[in-house]
Amino acid sequence: MLQLVVGLLGYGAAVMVMVLSGLGAASWSVLSEGVAKTLGVSFGTATNAVAVAVLLTWIPMRELSGVGTVLNVLVVGWAADLTALVVPVPATLGLRYVYLVVAVVAIAFFDALYLGAQFGSGPRDGLMTGLVRLTRLPVAVVRTAIEVCVATLGWVLGGQVGVGTVLLALVMGPLVSVFLPRLAVRLPDHAPPARRPQ
């Protein structure tokens, strides 16, 4: 449980550090922005709508939710808002790139940390784990494909894409695949297989 909470808090903080860099948001944020512009709704409403839409894809994949699914919705946004209050906006271009690099690595690390706690995926990570399980493709391939598709769709809908968006889309999958096996909690053999990282 501690690993789950730390992972979610760290993930929310890292997402906000990336936003503060001003060099491009994460792929899912680009999609939410594009949906917001297309439908004429707020960014928060679009984010929730995207989350619901992604959760619906879990049904045919038979992906299981858990405590981590619920806490993801409750904790990540709060952690991001808190981070925005305490972390200053970088004053120089060099510092903006430092923020970006730290954020990209931290997003992948904390994503793997909370997934490795084995309490269930958040909406977007459940899509990844479900597709990994169904396709038997490596995490790096599936995650990269999702990030690229989501960023592209968000851009087509009017979301803002930056160098950080492209960087995260390309390296998120490989980084998660490096971190996840090292951070996954080992469950007893009788544990539900759907909760184990692929």
Q: What is the pLDDT of residues 105-143, one digit of tens each?
A: 999 999 999 989 989 878 888 898 889 989 999 888 888
**Is 128 part of any domain?**
yes
In a domain, 138, yes or no: yes
Q: Which residues span the domain enclosing 158?
A: 2-184
In a domain, 12, yes or no: yes
Question: What does the block give as tokens for 153?
Answer: 């769709």
| Structural domain count of the chain | 1
* Better-predicted residue by pLDDT, 25 or 91: 91
Q: Which residue is it, tokens 């680009």?
A: 30
Q: What is the C-alpha separation between 7 and 38, in angstroms, rounded? A: 32
Contact 185, 115 (CB under 8 A): no
Asked whether residue 189 is domain-assigned, the answer is no
**194 within domain boundaries:** no
Work out the average pLDDT over 69-97. 87
**The two three-digit tokens of residue 59, written as one number:** 């049904």
Query: Does the residue 197 lie in any domain?
Result: no
- Mean pLDDT across the chain: 86
Residue 179 lies in a domain: yes
The 10s digit of each residue's pLDDT in 151-168 is: 899 999 988 889 998 898
Distance from C-alpha of 149 to C-alpha of 129, rounded to nearest angstrom: 16
Full-model pTM: 0.78
Residue 79 in any domain: the answer is yes
